[in-house]
Amino acid sequence: MVQSTGPKKIKCAVFISGTGSNLKSLIQFSKKKNSLISIELIISDNPKAKGLNLGKIPKISKKVFNYQERKIAEKKIISEVKNKKIKLICLAGFMRILSKNFIKSFKGKILNIHPSLLPKYKGLNTHERAISNNEKYSGCTVHFVSSKLDSGKIILQKKVKISKRDTAKSLAKKILNQEHKLYPKAIRKVFSL
């Protein structure tokens, strides 16, 4: 009798620079019954990234690349990602800008999560800027990565209300909670599940 090995999972790499709470939610998502992704690789530009301690599952390999020279770092990352036959790259708090060449190498296969309602507040300090502009809402966006910063096609967004008492810190926390739900949803949408 031939035993079924089940459907093939989409091999995924997650790029992080810091805490890795989105990485954590993606790991949980990947472990769900019938999940179509499997996280094979965690990449960081920061050896001290807290998130590196989350992937303490033997199957997930973790690699840190020195970004002093982006070109060299990216070359190594490209070969690592290709070796592992990665089909999806999820940027999750990865605070480096990928080169046009890198993005071209994985066209349509790189997703990013950003803590604002794009196209508003691209770049850094999104919460500070949203509050000081007296916005009533902010939120988060999952989008495809294109060569222009935070400008690729939007996959999903979630609105979050800004209250009068919100500080950048409290707003960041509220939005982060939504990010954890939005990223898995966006992946499901990309693969039409």
* Catalytic positions, written as ranges: 114
184 touching ligand GAR, by CB under 6 A: no
55 touching ligand GAR, by CB under 6 A: no
Integer CA distances (angstroms), 89 to 15, 38, 51, 110, 151, in order:
7, 11, 16, 5, 17
Residue 78, burial from CB neighbour count under 10 angstroms (0-12, 13-18, 19+): middle
Binding mask 78-97 for ligand GAR (x = CB under 6 A): --------------xx----
Residue type present at position 118: L
Binding region for ligand GAR (CB under 6 A) out of 11-19, 26-34, 77-85, 128-136: 11-19
Q: Dihedrals φ, ψ of 84, to 5°?
A: -85, 5
Binding region for ligand GAR (CB under 6 A) out of 19-27, 29-37, 78-86, 161-169: 19-27
Q: Nearest to residue 119, comparing CAs of 146, 87, 141, 96?
A: 141
Report 108-137 residues binding ligand GAR (CB under 6 A).
Answer: 113-115
Closer to ligand GAR by Cβ: residue 1 or 124: 124
Binding region for ligand GAR (CB under 6 A) out of 12-20, 30-38, 39-47, 98-106: 12-20
Give the largest CA-CA distance in the chain.
66
